[in-house]
Amino acid sequence: MWLRKTEQQAPFLIVGLGNPGLEYRYSRHNFGFMVLDALAEHWSVPLKKIKFKAVVGEDRYQGNKVVLAKPLTFMNESGRAVAPLLRFYKCPPENMLVIHDDLDLPLGTLRIRPSGATAGQRGMESITRMIATQEFPRMRLGISRPPGQMDPKDYVLKKFLPAEEELKIMVINQAVEAVECFVTQGLTKAMNTYNGEVA
């Protein structure tokens, strides 16, 4: 008896948002980039290939094809890299997880959602505009609000304080675990397990 060949599973696209350039490397706005770098190191996936205005790495994780991507377009134009990647890899929006910083959450908080508004995050605004939907998972990493009267635009480009470094690393490690959970066990499991303050 002949068995039908099973349909190939759709790939996952994991996107970390940030700004390219050494001057921005350690800024709060580059929290998404930091998670992607940590994930690539953890999986031993080189992030070297340039494709559609992004640096990408491809591998399989527990049988699932996964593409890691860091847009090189600067935060406000992230969609110009993400939209063509989504099309090229034939990745359904529900298999794309976008990781980004969030002013409205305190540092030490990680929040995964299946969809929703952009809350003023310029990279997310660009992506939703370019792919014409808000229906895709996102991981928000809290960076807290700026102190005093500091302009948020200036604040997000500043580095984390030395006193915040340990908490920042804890968030990155938990975010890496959450991505692995998303890929292997699904969005609901990742939300139920990792949403909230880092342990």
Tokens of 199: 């342990």
User: What is the domain-level CATH number for residue 93?
Assistant: 3.40.50.1470
Is residue 128 in some structural domain?
yes
Give the pTM.
0.91
Sign of CA dihedral 173, 175, 179, 184: positive
Quick one: average pLDDT of 48-54?
93
Is residue 2 in some structural domain?
no
- Measured CA to CA in angstroms, residue 143 lies from 38, 64, 164, 168, 172 at distances of 18, 31, 10, 9, 12
Confidence (pLDDT) at 199: 67
Domain that holds residue 37: 12-197
As a whole number of angstroms, the distance between CA 104 and CA 156 comes to: 12
CA dihedral 134, 131, 141, 48 (to 10 degrees): 160
Tokens of 23: 């001057």
As a whole number of angstroms, the distance between CA 12 and CA 16 comes to: 13
Quick one: average pLDDT of 13-40?
95
Catalytically annotated residue among 12, 15, 20, 29: 29
Confidence (pLDDT) at 38: 97
Quick one: average pLDDT of 35-54?
94
Number of domains making up the chain: 1
Confidence (pLDDT) at 109: 95
The yes-or-no answer on residue 42 being catalytic is no
Is residue 83 in some structural domain?
yes
Is residue 7 in some structural domain?
no
Condensed to tens digits (0 to 9), the pLDDT of residues 119-167 reads 778 888 999 999 998 999 999 999 988 888 888 888 989 999 999 999 9
Is residue 49 in some structural domain?
yes
